[in-house]
Chain A
Amino acid sequence: MFSISKVLNRVIVAQFYQQNAGLFLFIFFAMFGMVEGSQLINYHVSLITGIIQSTAFLLIVFCVWILYTAKGVQFVISTLGKPQNSFLYTITSLTRIKQFSYLFLTHTLVHIPVGLYSLAIVWVALKQGQPMIAMIILVFNFLLCLLASLVSVYKLNNPSSFHISFFAKIKFPRKKTLTWFYFTYILNDAKLTFTITKLFSYFALFGFFQIPLDHYENRIPLMGLLIGAASHAVLIFEIRKWEDSYLSFTKNLPLSFAKRYFTIAIVYLVLLVPELLLMIVNHVHMTDLIGVIMFGVGFLLFLHSLLYHLNMDMDKYIQYVLIVFLLSFAMLLFKLYFILILVYLIISFQWYKRYLYSFESLRL
């Protein structure tokens, strides 16, 4: 039993952590690297208290864990299906119970990051006199590992089954929208720019939240987000370049200007979700959140359309970004951000409408 576990750990568990090292690093950084050392424990206790006390929050956390488990199952199944790992199918000569126990151990090891944070939640829940929540969390984690193992055992004994049904159901009927095309581009071809941009943007906003103030000030998130949004300039340039090269065929699609503009607005809204979460954690008022996010999305849309106006001239673009940034910063000092939102949205939409069909890149 020991040697089989060892092989599974090497072939599946170690590979899982190795291949997802970037993702774990990012999550670790977002969870622990963003908070000042002395505040780390208090921060996480507050976060966990929120999870324990709010059913909605708890359900969101459960959804995230389900996604993580699904990723683990997918990895285990795809690893088992690789030709070089076909020797693993010798496990099928064992009884189903033994197969299950091996794969349960494998999935439990894959589940460790979620399991560790779950234990922290259980500990806080017990401290706060909420044994039922602690029990629910433990049972839920156990069920996730149990279900993941059962699926893997089934796959191991029916090698072709999931290839046809399980994966076909996930991949084949998935109808990607135009918005999704942008995300697939960002996550496939602009990974590095995206990661650097997001880290810088997150840091900038986080830094602004460290400014000690004796009263609530909505200019803090606005100024932090302005710096963060301006750091998206290169990513937006890459997106525009990709649009011109690979999405030119979409100009022939019967989509209104508003729909196309809205598609891009959604992309930028989703891009700013990490910053939005940071603002929620830092208790930015709900009324301000909407304005701040509209400000961020408006700024990104403005940069997007600005590139049409400047005919993709990178030198001019950087100069304009700097000028717009300084003007915006000055206006934020005078709390004129609503005017800025209007200016960004109106100008960007007008430029978009004016240049979409009339823009011609130098490549004929």
Chain B
Amino acid sequence: MLELTNIKKEFSGQLILSIQNLAFNPGLYWIKGGNGSGKTTLLKMIAGLLPFEGVIKLNQSIDSKKNPVDYRKFVNYAEAEPLFPSFLSGYDLVHLFEKTKQAKTSDVKELIQAFNIDSFLNNPIGTYSSGMVKKLSLVLAFIGNPKLILLDEPLVTLEDHSIPILIKLINQYHSERDVTFILTSHQLLEHEDFLSMETILVKDKTACFQ
């Protein structure tokens, strides 16, 4: 469902990542790797946030560079440390995502309820704690009709009782909506929590299945 071919990522003339070929079938994937190994860079490239050499295709036909709008309809992303304009409310962002990702209002409401963020959604983001911002960014990542959701360190700053909610949503979206997930996490993910989980290792400036 996702294929990376001849990927090369440099920054200031320095090679960060080089991936000959990496193909993802529908499923759940956990990207492992040390600090600075390039996990976030890889996710950002797949999300269309960072430029790179090479080809990333979704469902064999939607090229991230040649079909940028279609590609972004189906690929959602939540940053490890999300940064949003402080004077906007969470509600402003939810609406923007709902509109642009063409989501059903009922689905969005369910997500808001699931993460229990409706009590502060009207407040400016500048007043949120890091955990609240994290929850907002996770809600935004599920909005729309994604085929692929990329979650960078989704458990960081997330309160304990929200973790099972997130895991339940991941399993639910995967089984009911056929959504593929690629996660990075420094925290240990329990394989038995997920329906299935494959591991990818980012090491020595490349990525491969473990």
In the complex, per-residue mask of B66-82: 1 if CB is within 8 Å of any chain A CB, else 0: 00111111011101001
Q: Judging by beta carbons under 8 Å apart, are A248 and B49 in contact?
A: yes
Within 8 Å CB of B69, what residues of A?
254-256
Q: Known interface pairs A188-B87, A246-B85. Does A178 touch B96 (Cβ–Cβ under 8 Å)?
A: yes
User: Bound state CA distance, A364 and B80, in angstroms?
Assistant: 13
Report chain B residues within 8 Å CB of A172.
91, 122
Contact A359 B51 (CB under 8 A): yes
Point out the residue from A176, A242, A357 that lies within 8 Å of B96, measured CB to CB: A176
B41 and A246 contacting across the interface, CB-CB below 8 Å? no
Q: Indicate if the CB atoms of B11 and A252 lie closer than 8 Å.
A: no
Q: How many angstroms between the C-alpha atoms of A252 and B73 in the bound complex?
A: 8
Q: Which of B47, B65, B79, B87 contacts A185 (CB 8 A)?
A: B87
Any B CB within 8 A of the CB of A82: no
Q: How far is the CB of A17 from chain B (nearest CB, A)?
A: 25
Distance (whole angstroms) from the CB of B117 to the closest CB of chain A: 14
Cα A256 to Cα B100 with chains together (Å): 11
Which residues of B, 1-35, contact A by the 8 Å Cβ criterion? 11-12
Roughly how many angstroms separate A178 CA and B93 CA in the complex, as a whole number?
9
| Structural contact, B122 and A246, CB atoms closer than 8 A | no
Q: Give Cα distance in the complex from A154 to B67, angstroms.
A: 56
A176: B residues at CB distance < 8 A: 88, 92, 95-96
A49 within 8 A of B: no
Interface string of B96-125 (1 = CB under 8 A from A): 110111000000000000000000001000
Mask of A220-251 contacts with B, CB within 8 angstroms, 1/0: 00000000000000000000001001111111
B11 touches A184 (CB 8 A): no
Query: Distance in Å from the Cβ of A335 to the closest Cβ of chain B?
Result: 40
Contacts of B165 in A (CB 8 A): none
Is there an interface contact between B76 and A252, defined as CB atoms closer than 8 Å? yes
Interface centre among A175, A178, A252, A254 (most CB of B within 10 A): A252
- Which residues of the partner chain A approach B95 to less than 8 Å between Cβ atoms? 175-176
Interface residue total, chain B, C-beta cutoff 8 A? 35
Q: Which of A181, A253, A358, A362 contacts B92 (CB 8 A)?
A: A181
CB distance from B66 to the nearest CB of A (A): 11
Cross-chain contact A184 with B85 (CB below 8 angstroms): yes
Q: Name the distance in Å between B136's Cβ and chain A's nearest Cβ.
A: 11
B72 touches A252 (CB 8 A): yes
Tell me the dominant secondary structure on chain B's binding face.
mixed
Q: Does A127 contact B (CB under 8 A)?
A: no
User: Number of A residues whose C-beta is below 8 Å from B?
Assistant: 31
The interface residues of chain B lying within 8 Å CB-to-CB of A364 are 11, 41, 50
CA distance A362 to B88 in the complex (A): 25
Q: Is the CB of A358 within 8 A of B51?
A: yes
Task: Kindly state the separation between the CA atoms of A306 and B118 in the bound complex, as whole angstroms.
Answer: 41
Q: Does B84 contact A (CB under 8 A)?
A: yes
Residues on B with C-beta less than 8 A from A185 are 85, 87
Contacts of A246 in B (CB 8 A): 83-85
Q: Mark A154-181, 1 if CB is under 8 A from B, else 0.
A: 0000000000000000011001111001
In the complex, chain A residues whose CB is within 8 Å of the CB of B99: 175
B77–A252 touching, CB < 8 Å? yes
- Please give me the residue from chain A that is nearest to B124 by CB atom: A188
Interface check B48, CB cutoff 8 A: yes
Q: B85 near A247 (CB under 8 angstroms)? A: yes
- Cα separation A246 to B76 with both chains bound (whole Å): 17
- Are the C-beta atoms of A249 and B79 separated by less than 8 Å? yes
Q: How far is the CB of A249 from chain B (nearest CB, A)?
A: 7
Nearest-neighbour CB distance to chain B for A258, whole angstroms, equals 10
Residues of B within 8 A of A288 (CB): none
- Check B96–A251 contact: CB distance below 8 A: no
List the A side residues contacting B72 at CB < 8 Å.
252-255
- Scan A292-335; emit 1 where CB is below 8 A from any B CB, else 0: 00000000000000000000000000000000000000000000
Q: Mark A175-210, 1 if CB is under 8 A from B, else 0.
A: 111100100110011000000000000000000000
A184 touching B87, Cβ below 8 Å: yes
Q: Please give me the residue from chain A that is nearest to B36 by CB atom.
A: A364
Residue of A nearest to B65 (CB): A357
Q: Is the CB of B85 within 8 A of A360?
A: no
Within 8 A of B (CB), among A239-296: 242, 245-257
B87 contact set on A, CB distance < 8 A = 184-185, 188-189
CB contacts (< 8 Å) of A177 on chain B: these are 96
Question: Which chain B positions have C-beta within 8 A of A181?
Answer: 85, 88, 92, 96
A-B CB contact pairs (8 Å), 15 listed: A172-B122, A175-B92, A175-B99, A176-B88, A176-B96, A189-B87, A242-B85, A245-B83, A246-B85, A249-B83, A249-B84, A250-B96, A251-B49, A254-B70, A357-B51
7 closest A-B pairs by beta carbon, nearest first, are A254-B72, A358-B51, A254-B73, A188-B87, A253-B100, A176-B92, A175-B95
Chain B interface (Cβ < 8 Å from any Cβ of A): 11-12, 41, 47-51, 65, 68-73, 75-77, 79, 82-85, 87-88, 91-92, 95-97, 99-101, 122, 140
- Taking A252-B77, A254-B100 as given, write out 8 further A-B residue pairs in contact, using a Cβ cutoff of 8 Å, ordered by the A residue number: A176-B88, A246-B83, A252-B72, A257-B68, A357-B68, A359-B51, A364-B11, A364-B41
